[in-house]
A = this chain, B = another copy of it.
């Protein structure tokens, strides 16, 4: 790809796209600014990294319009846009090779049930097992060893990595990515306690519904609803080892970092950001655009959109930071208290 071609490509997303330097050079790969070599493209989106412009061997660097580039080596070309980070993401996309290079069609070792329907261009990997009456949309790739139980529906242009398991009845939208080892639709953790201390299993009769453009990391678990659906909203991003329990509803474009755990029947709003290892008690609700700090423990509903939560039990960031400051100040309080006590004795003695 020539520099000029990259400029034209970015023109789809940004206006203007300014080129400084010659446009004929060939770019073979993207790279980090610290380690980029000749023939590579990199970017600087953060002031901290501007220093690398003096030393980088990159042939092309994407920067913000405001960066003065005259002082840097004439062997570097620059493309200036309003958001160099996102521009670089688009360049990465252009250079990305597909992770799963399955041949189109059905691997001879795959085991396909009865009444399965598949769109054009579907690719089914080695040893994949697909249950009866599943449907798989156009151009979807199912990696080796994935298992779909019966009546699973997957949309178009999805990528299901190896060893994913989808239980019966799961409904998955289009352009969904699910990484290896994730389990979608296992039974919710529901048991009715009996007088003798044992439990009777509550049959989990619902399903999981996953919207379009969702990405799910590796070894995550999303349980089916007891009745009805566990819902992952369009565009939500769920990291590795996240637990989403039965009957949860995750809002659109909500992001959940690794190892967070969402208990049963929790509703998260749209565009929330949940930190890693955060935990949620059951049956609560978060409004839209709420940010939850890593390791926080959410014990009740928060219905004001856009706030940030932190701590255990979690409270709004401002209150929590004040609380943490007070905790850090405990030593000073103790000193003051001891001092007062001495003064008091002094005074009482007078």
Contacts and interface: CB of A to CB of B under 8 A. Distances in A.
Interface of A: 30-32, 35, 85-86, 89-90, 92-93, 95-96, 99-101, 107, 109, 111, 125-127, 129, 131-132, 143-145, 147, 149-150, 161-163, 165, 167-168, 177, 179-183, 186-187, 189, 191-192, 194, 197-203, 205, 213, 215, 217-221, 223, 226-228, 235, 237, 239-241, 243, 245, 253, 255, 257-259, 261, 263, 270-271, 276-277, 279, 281, 289, 294-295, 297, 312, 322-323, 326-327, 329-331, 333-334, 336-337, 340-341, 343-344, 347-348
Q: DSSP class of A's interface residues: helix, strand, loop or mixed?
A: loop
A337 to B, nearest CB: 6
Nearest to A162: B147
Copies per assembly:
3
Given A129-B144, A219-B181, A340-B344, A86 B200 contact: yes
11 contacts: A93-B201, A96-B203, A101-B131, A101-B132, A129-B144, A129-B145, A183-B240, A191-B237, A323-B327, A323-B330, A336-B337
Contacts of A96: 203, 205
A277 B294 contact: no
Identify the interface centre among A86, A143, A223, A276: most chain B CB within 10 Å of its CB.
Answer: A276
A127 B111 contact: yes
A259 B257 contact: no
Contacts of A347: 344, 347-348
Contacts of A277: 261, 277, 279
Contact of A147 (B163, B219, B245, B336): B163
Nearest to A279: B277
B270 A239 contact: no
